[in-house]
A and B are shown apart, each in its own frame.
Chain A
């Protein structure tokens, strides 16, 4: 599958994203390659499983960002690149526990995008999820598109608002809602910062 096609699918709709994620998730070839890479370099099955999931998350995040809409090439090697870099970062983080394997230590992590934050801690992710879960689904969609660089005209078209102005108004209401929550819960804000 071409990367361009996959990026298009990620940006099309939630339904299309779900379909693509399921397709990657069930792709035995990609999964086996990632598992082989991790296990060959000293990782356990649960590490491989984690990296596989994180690879998908990272890919969708990257593809959904308007700044990255011109990605080209094939999906599979791109995913392998993400997995390799995520594992590289993870090995660096665990340098005292896991010796860097040869296959990784000679890799430069700049051939593919590197994750800014590779793994959110379980607690932090859970907190983030709880905060975001407070938003209504239409708010989630509007804010998600806005923060990832979609214009108000694109948001209106994608999410079915009658005008760009309506989309802007909705975005402002939703942002105010999220802001109110953080304003009223400064301790949560501190944890998320």
Chain B
């Protein structure tokens, strides 16, 4: 850089002495960059002046980005919250609606298949009942359920249909519905013990041990094998 660059402002604003001016112009003839600076002085100054504009625009850009960032991070938090919620719901669903490994074992150990009870009904109703029980035994619960629901409207088969419906609900883990149906059957002598037993099982599945113990006390133990009773007592301890 020519030392005369320090005189540039003074030259442009006519603040140099006549001798200095001559020296500067001489230097300008020898240095084309200095000459270029003189010729482009207004542009150089204008560009330098626009540095404040450039800085301001940059600051505004930063502010815009800052405003966008929270939006994005908020969106990210929403996604995270949604993911956690879905995960939590899945966990709850798994814990409540589907049996935990412990509940699976409990169910396998204590569940007793329904015993067909003698019911009186019309021939066609009896045939339908037989078909429904057959479907139930082959674990076609979805197909059996509407048939039992239909039979539950028949006075003579109402209890039997409700009994199987209660078992269907229990086997499909609809514990509250199953409990209600068994509760309804509890008043009938034929189904009382079965209903109490399975309500006890439901209470255990719902981790209501006190309720299970209470129901166990009401059971007529003579109708169960000793092995079965020991299993139950194991879970009630």
Interface residues of A (CB under 8 A from B): 14, 17-18, 21-22, 25, 53, 56-57, 60-61, 64-65, 125, 128-129, 131-133, 135, 140, 143-144, 146-148, 168-169, 172-173, 175-176, 178-180, 182-183, 189, 192-193
Contacts and interface: CB of A to CB of B under 8 A. Distances in A.
Interface of B: 1-2, 5-6, 8, 32-33, 36-37, 40, 43-57, 59-60, 63
Given A175-B5, A178-B48, A129 B54 contact: yes
Nearest to B42: A193
Main secondary structure, interface of A, reads helix
A64 to B, nearest CB: 5
Contact of B52 (A64, A128, A175): A64
Contacts, number: 99
Contact of A147 (B45, B55, B63): B45
A21 B59 CA distance: 8
A17 B57 CA distance: 12
Nearest to B2: A176
B224 to A, nearest CB: 75
A45 to B, nearest CB: 14
B12 to A, nearest CB: 11
A140 B55 CA distance: 9
Contacts of B48: 143-144, 146-147, 175, 178
B43 A61 contact: no
10 closest Cβ contacts across the A-B interface? A147-B48, A147-B49, A144-B51, A143-B48, A176-B1, A172-B5, A179-B37, A60-B56, A172-B6, A64-B52
